[in-house]
Every structure is written in structure tokens, then in C-alpha cells.
Amino acid sequence: MSQLGSQLAILYLKLAGGVLLGWVLGRILPPSVPTRLGLFLFWIGVPLSVIAFLRQAELSATIWMAPVVAWVAIGSGAGLAALWMKIEARSRPLDPLASDKPFQGSFLLSSMLGNTGYLGYPITLSLVGEKYFAWAMFYDLLGSLLGSYGLGAVLAARLGCRTKIPVSWFRPLIENPTLWSFFFGLGFRQIPLPPLAERIFHNIAWGTVALALVLMGMRLSQMDSWQNWRPASASLTIKMLVVPLTLGMLLPLFGIKGAPHLALVVQMAMPPAFATLVLAETYDLDRQLAVTSLFLGSTGLLLTLPLWIVLFQ
């Protein structure tokens, strides 16, 4: 077996094993279990893993390009999604979805926001290792997270059934412990720890990655609506193919090459984030489209991931 084949086999075994275990557990365990696991990861697991991985990461001045790339990808996805909807409205004027604002909101969010945390973290770690993992973290925390609960919340409020943006729309950002642990970890990484404590910290971080995959499988097992596959396929083409391929070819022109290059492309190519479903439910957008995009994108990643490894590794 070739080196690429071996790498993919190991990666898929980790991904499929964790997600499949979560899918089975999600079918047999009470619905409250994924909620409790999600709360544990949100408040404890992921923040600790961010601090631990930052201790092993290599930081350079160019790493601040990661959130810039994230925002360019988010903006590109939104722009291409708006263009698709405009073309669709002209070619199919009788289609009620063409003028349906909740549909437009879910389509925009699915085209611009990626699952760069729970899914992007383990994949990027497997491909580039801890040394370059900070590129994925900067992309996620200063790009995807702010884009989801900042710009994403504003768009969802404007296109949803609610006519006003709640005063507390920014609370998910302020109260997100992962964002705070990120800034804490940047300073804490310089403080030496005993070897045993470092190993324990490291093992907790990798355990969190495994639990994140299990949680994703649990959440996928609870989805029960797969309609609107045609517009979902269009949004996924924008999100998971057009944007990462185009920007991935341009990044070397700005000096981003090697492992950081692959890390950013992989983050750009992640399927829609679970935040799209959260926002769709909060602001009464098209939930069916959000669910369909999540499912198709998560399964389609197994087909698109080898493309990015071959092109940009």
C-alpha cells in the first residue's frame, strides 16, 4: 500500500470508528447523553485540549494569516451563494424557494460556515501533527467561531422570521470558554510543567478529540430529515470544492506552503458547521436544508478529503 493509501486508511479508521461509535450510542442511549457530553466538551474538554496543543505548536508571524484566510473563505462562500440564488431565481422564477428568506438564510450559512472545530481539529491533527496545529486553531477560533456567532447570527436574524437582532446575539462569543482558553494558552505555553503533568495534559487533549468524533456521530444519528438535496448539493459544492480549491491554489502566492498550506485548505473544505443548525433553529430559518447539508457534507467529506491531500500535501 502506498504512503498516501496508508495515511488515508489510518485517518478514515479514526474518523469512521469515532463517528460510527457515536452513531450507535446515539441510537441506544437517552437523548440527554449527547447534550451532557456536548456541555462537557464545550466547558472543559475542548478548552483544555486547546491549551495543551498550543504548548506543542510552532507559532510564527505568518500564522496570523490563518484568520485572514478564514474570513476570505467565509466571504467567498457567501458571495458565491448569493450569486447562485440570484441565478436560480432568474432561471426558475416559479420556484417558491427563490424568494423564501429562511431558505436563503440556511443556504448562505451552509455555504460559508464550516465544522472547523469538532471535525476539523482531529483531521488536521492527523494530517499535519501538533507542530502546525495552531494554524487550524487560529482559523477556527478567530475565523469560523467569530463568523458563526457574529456575521452568521446577523444574517440569520435578518433573513429569519425574527425581524430584530437580539441584544444578546454576541453572548456566544463572550461566553465561549474555548476562545478564552485560546488566549490563555498563548501565554501559558511558555510556563514549563513536570514531564508527568505534560503527558497527562497531552493525553486529555487527545481524549477530547476522540470524544468530539463520538459526539458528532451522536448528533448525526438524531437527524431525521434529508430533504432539499438539490440546493444542499449546490451549497456544498461552493463550501467544500470551489472555495478551498480556488483559495488553495492562491495561498502559495502569499508564502503559505507545506503543512500550513494543507492545514488551511482542509479547514476551508470542512462540511457545514453544527452552528448552521443552531442558528436555523434559533432564527426560524429552513431547518430541513440545514440538516440535509450537514448530513451530505459530513458523508461527502470522505470523498473530497483525498483530493486535498493529493493536491496540497
Which pLDDT score, from 0 to 100, does residue 54 have?
Answer: 87
**pLDDT given for residue 171 in this prediction:** 64
Mean pLDDT of the chain: 87
pLDDT of residue 60: 85
pLDDT in tens, 268-301: 999 999 889 888 887 888 888 988 899 899 889 9
DSSP string covering 26-62, please?
Answer: HHHS-THHHHHHHHHIIIIIHHHHHHHHHHH----GG
**4 close to 309: Cβ distance less than 8 angstroms:** yes
Other residues' Cβ atoms within 10 Å of the Cβ of residue 33: 14
pLDDT in tens, the chain (313 residues): 566 677 778 888 888 889 899 999 999 999 889 889 988 988 898 889 989 998 888 888 899 999 999 999 999 999 999 999 988 888 876 565 556 888 999 999 999 999 998 899 999 998 998 899 999 999 999 999 888 888 888 888 888 765 555 545 566 667 778 888 888 998 888 888 899 989 998 899 999 989 988 988 888 887 766 667 889 999 999 999 999 999 999 999 999 999 999 999 999 999 999 889 888 887 888 888 988 899 899 889 989 999 999 999 7
Per-residue model confidence (pLDDT) at position 164: 55
Residues 114, 293 contacting (CB under 8 angstroms): no
Nearest alpha-carbon partner for 242 in 122, 115, 79, 90: 79
Contact 190, 196 (CB under 8 A): no
CA end-to-end span of the chain, whole Å?
18
Burial of 160 (0-12, 13-18, 19+ CB in 10 A): buried
* Residue type present at position 107: F
pLDDT at residue 293, rounded to an integer? 92
State the cell numbers at 142: 478567530
Q: Report the 10 Å Cβ neighbour count for 236.
A: 24
